[in-house]
Amino acid sequence: MTTPDKKADFSDVNVNVDTTAQKVEKADFSDVSVNVDTTAEKVGEQTYTVEKGDTLSHIAKQFYGKSSKWNAIFEANRDQLDDPDKIQPGQILKIPAAND
């Protein structure tokens, strides 16, 4: 003999959802200080390995903060670069100090 399927009765179940977002205090970073100092101007010549999509302007912006200084990188690498628009991934370029 088979009994008909009886559906579960949840009519007496109460639901209370509480989020921890209301109970967590926000982190206080007011006493944190940050000092970022670049070594580009304090260290002599550095090197950079060209990655796909790089340009001398992009590299100059990264090291000097100005894309217009691309020519300094080009001149420092004349031994391996004939055209500033033809750098290749994997090339190791000399990055002259910012004050050069």
Q: What is the pLDDT of residues 13-66, one digit of tens each?
A: 787 766 665 555 677 777 777 766 655 445 567 999 999 999 999 999 999 999
pLDDT band for position 74 (cuts 50, 70, 90) = very high
Output 71 or 36, whichever has higher pLDDT. 71
Output 2 or 59, whichever has higher pLDDT. 59
CA distance 99 to 45: 10
Burial class (CB within 10 angstroms; exposed 0-12, middle 13-18, buried 19+) of 15: exposed
Q: Which residues are CB-contacts of 71 (< 8 A; sequence separation ≥ 6)?
A: 56, 84
Average pLDDT for 6-12: 78
Please report the domains of the chain, with CATH numbers, ordered by start residue: 37-95 (3.10.350.10)
Q: Which amino acid is at 72?
A: A
Output 99 or 38, whichever has higher pLDDT. 99
Give phi and psi for 60, each to the nearest 5. -60, -40
For residue 74, give the nearest of 52, 53, 96 by alpha carbon: 96
